[in-house]
Amino acid sequence: MSFPDIDPIAFSLGPLVIRWYALAYLAGFLGGWLVARRLAGAESLWGKVPRPSKEQIDDFIVWIALGVILGGRLGYVLFYDLGAYLGRPHEILFVWQGGMSFHGGLLGAVIASFVFARRNGLIGLSMLDIVAVTAPIGLFFGRIANFINGELWGRPAPDFPFAVIFPFAGPVPRYPSQLFEAATQGLVLFIVMLIAVAVLGMRRPGMLAGIFAIGYAVARVFCEFFREPDPQIGFLMGEWLTMGMLLSLPLALVGIVAIIAARRGLTGPGGPPSAKAGSA
């Protein structure tokens, strides 16, 4: 089917132009902020783990926004198109032209979480657990915005009944891979994280972050089989391995380590049980 005629500009107020992409970021941060405040206010979820106040969450969302935007942009430049930006370094600042890396944004969020926690007497992994629960909201809206912009389209799929002819990708019908990513990395992963919160709570710092890391890595690798790789990089091996897959592998490994450490009690207040026993 033909690509729906959707203007990437949502509306304008005089010279001020508001794009769907910007609204997607706003919706992601707003939704994440509301969920994070609910988590912070649910005392029963935390046990003995230091719990941030709702006022601290208000500040924390600003830190995360800066970490995601700066990390996402720098990650895209370093991982996906360094050669081009070395020749035009001033365009690194042109975030409205697109070009954001999830893995770079995640690294920025990790740094912001630990710095914020250190400044506020909290546990960094606990703050990262909050990010893990709320991140799928932003991923969902961000991938929908990618579809509206007609970017990051899928691989050719002439026999797929819901294939889309994207305006900038030639006449070939392609997978709407952005919608696949919105469904898996956004909606499905958000449901998984809510179930994890209900079952595990926030009592083992790093546990939810580990679950998110593995869940995202699996969803990303799956969707990469339908998504066209960035043209400046192409396939890294054969006709299947992409940069998105490659960056997701260490993320999954970090998630496994985080879950093991959390299960063994290595991340909670006071450190591992043996250390607490030895100091008694």
Q: Which residues define the annotated binding site?
A: 143
Dihedral sign of CA atoms 59, 125, 77, 11 in order: negative
Closest alpha carbon to 152 in 179, 186, 189, 185: 179
Distance CA 235, CA 41 (A): 46
3-state secondary structure of 223: helix
Q: Going along the chain, which residue ranges are E strands? A: 9-13, 16-19
Query: What b/e string do you get for 142-166 counting C-beta neighbours within 10 Å, with b at 16 or more?
Result: bbbbbbbbbbbbbbebeeeeebbeb
Q: At what angle do helices 207-224 and 124-149 cross, to 10 degrees?
A: 20
Residue of 104, 93, 186 lying closest to 137 (CA atoms): 186
Within 10 angstroms of residue 20's Cβ, the number of other Cβ atoms is: 20
CA distance 240 to 258: 29
Residue corresponding to tokens 């699996």: 218
